[in-house]
Amino acid sequence: MKRPDSAWAALASRRFLVSSWPWRSYAYLLSSVPVGVLTIAVLLVGGVVSVALSPLIVGVLLLTAFPLVGVLIGIVERWRAQLMVPGGIRSPHAVMPATISRRERSRFRRREQASLRALGYGVLLGVLIWPLSTVVAGMCAAILGITLAAPVIAGLDEMAMGPWILNDPWEGAVFLVLFGPPFYVVSSYLLGCFAAAEAELAKALLGPREEELRRNVAALRRSRLDLVDAFETERARIERHLHDGVQQRLVGLTMTLGLAELDLPDGEGRRLVVKAHGEAEAALADLREAVRGIHPRVLVDHGLEAAVREVADRSPLPVAVQVSLPGRLPAPIEAAAYFVVSEALGNVAKHAQATRCEVDGWTDGDRLVVTVMDDGVGGADPAAGTGITGLVTRLDALGGTLDLSSPTGGPTRLRMECPCRLDD
């Protein structure tokens, strides 16, 4: 038989009375007593002390630490709630990277809404929940205990149950049989409902909130996109800087050297100037190559297809390019696709021993798909280079994926997929 997945389902089950649920309800309600008492004591003492010390800075600091008490209450109460919630309650707190310092951690936790909610729950627990639970569960437990002990008590002394005076063990036993079962039934359901309601409250206040999760995910995604965007902007800035600065100066240098060549008579001096001119040109060519790796101009001005063609033209082996796109895509997506192709073709040329290569790009619904295939030796290991890893991170931020299939003996096939839009 299927185990009930919540206290309410257990209450509705026909096996409720013979299951562990009534006892769990007792345990849950009664265990709220020590926790509740401790909580209210800590909150009261903390409150009084911090108010008393509030003229001093210590008092204020103490007040700001209150949400951390909430975090602690949350941990204990979520653990206790496992009695009533079979799967337990998931923590609403954001997961923090291991690299963050303790100080940063506590600062973040103090400001987290979930911490304040847990603190509120702590107040409720200390003021209302534990006294109520004590009254209800305590009375039921007492009555049940007396009923069970009725034969013994009636044997030792006399026991008054309304108009009925029990004064020997037999009468006590009759009372136990007549009153015990109905009371067990009524009290079990009563306590079950009570405990389930409390657990529900704990879940509502100490568990993660749906919209909170959604908001966190959306914020996370946005911040990653911002990061990718900032990356692009920065690359564009660096490229501009190089173009307007160093490159212009080198061009000026080649012009001056060119003019000097014209004026100098043949001889050692002229030979050296010609050499210097050649070196300046080589520097310009290197710089152009570097700039292409940072922020390719063709990509910005003419889009993915032209840029992929250009990168294919520069490859030492023949590359067949087949790219058909409906139009321009957002810059970060074009850049990601371009660098995938560029990196892949570089790797093919370096490692694959291929004789030919094929780059295809198309859109499938609202996704951009780009594949790079070669007829080389295969056995490419994506973990070996940092290039591919970086691209995967970049694509990941855009909601895209990169798959590499490269069995030993080839062929190698790289497939990139990415949404065509940034906003979703």
Query: How many Å apart are CA 354 and CA 171, to the nearest integer?
Result: 99
Which of 59, 258 has the CB closer to other proteins?
258
Select the residue interacting with other proteins from 200, 229, 232, 281 (CB under 8 A).
Answer: 281
User: Tokens 């290991």 sit at which residue?
Assistant: 381
If we measure between CA atoms, which residue out of 74, 140, 138 comes closest to residue 109? 74
Q: Which residues have a Cβ under 8 Å from the Cβ of 212 and sit 6 or more positions away?
A: 92, 113, 114
Select the residue interacting with other proteins from 7, 114, 125, 257 (CB under 8 A).
Answer: 257
Positions in 356-385 near other proteins (CB under 8 A):
none
Q: How far is the CB of 281 from other proteins (least distance, A)?
A: 5
Which of 278, 379 has the CB closer to other proteins?
278
User: What does the DSSP 8-state code read for residue 296?
Assistant: -
Select the residue interacting with other proteins from 185, 255, 272, 384 (CB under 8 A).
Answer: 255
Q: Is 88 left (phi over 0), alpha (psi -120 to 50) or beta?
A: left
Which of 134, 254 has the CB closer to other proteins?
254
Q: How far is the CB of 319 from other proteins (least distance, A)?
A: 9
Question: 21-52 and 66-80 helices cross at what angle (nearest 10)?
Answer: 170
Q: How far is the CB of 258 from other proteins (least distance, A)?
A: 4
Residue 189: Cβ within 10 Å count:
15
Select the residue interacting with other proteins from 5, 226, 234, 261 (CB under 8 A).
Answer: 261
CB 26 within 8 A of CB 194: no
The alpha carbon of residue 398 and the mean position of all alpha carbons in its chain are separated, in whole angstroms, by 16
For 277, phi then psi, to 5°, come to -60, -45
For 392, phi then psi, to 5°, come to -60, -45
Which of 84, 312 has the CB closer to other proteins?
312
Select the residue interacting with other proteins from 9, 123, 300, 404 (CB under 8 A).
Answer: 300
Which of 126, 296 has the CB closer to other proteins?
296
Positions in 312-341 near other proteins (CB under 8 A):
312-314, 318
Which of 141, 284 has the CB closer to other proteins?
284
Which of 198, 239 has the CB closer to other proteins?
239
CB 385 within 8 A of CB 334: no
Q: How far is the CB of 243 from other proteins (least distance, A)?
A: 6
Positions in 235-254 near other proteins (CB under 8 A):
240, 243-244, 247-249, 251-252, 254
Q: How far is the CB of 329 from other proteins (least distance, A)?
A: 16
Which of 107, 288 has the CB closer to other proteins?
288
Q: 404 in helix, strand or coil?
A: strand
Binders of other proteins: how many residues, by CB under 8 A?
37
Give 322's strand partners: 360
Which of 68, 253 has the CB closer to other proteins?
253
Q: 160 in helix, strand or coil?
A: strand
Query: How many Å apart are CA 173 and CA 159, to the nearest integer?
Result: 12
Structural tokens at position 151: 């034969």
Q: How far is the CB of 318 from other proteins (least distance, A)?
A: 5
Query: How many Å apart are CA 30 and CA 113, to the nearest integer?
Result: 29
Residue 259 touches other proteins, criterion: CB under 8 A: yes
Query: How many Å apart are CA 167 and CA 175, to the nearest integer?
Result: 11
Q: How far is the CB of 85 from other proteins (least distance, A)?
A: 60
Residue 270 touches other proteins, criterion: CB under 8 A: no
Structural tokens at position 203: 């879940």
Select the residue interacting with other proteins from 6, 134, 256, 363 (CB under 8 A).
Answer: 256
Q: How far is the CB of 333 from other proteins (least distance, A)?
A: 19
Which of 247, 353 has the CB closer to other proteins?
247
What ranges in 125-209 are assigned the alpha helix state H? 130-156, 169-206
Residue 354 touches other proteins, criterion: CB under 8 A: no
- Which DSSP string corresponds to 37-72? HHHHHHHHHHHHHHHHTTTSHHHHHHHHTHHHHHHH
CB 198 within 8 A of CB 32: yes
Select the residue interacting with other proteins from 284, 369, 377, 420 (CB under 8 A).
Answer: 284
User: What does the DSSP 8-state code read for residue 399?
Assistant: T
The alpha carbon of residue 109 and the mean position of all alpha carbons in its chain are separated, in whole angstroms, by 16
Select the residue interacting with other proteins from 262, 267, 365, 383 (CB under 8 A).
Answer: 262
Write out the residues near other proteins by the rule CB under 8 A: 240, 243-244, 247-249, 251-252, 254-259, 261-262, 277, 280-281, 284-285, 288, 291-292, 297-298, 300-302, 306-307, 309-310, 312-314, 318
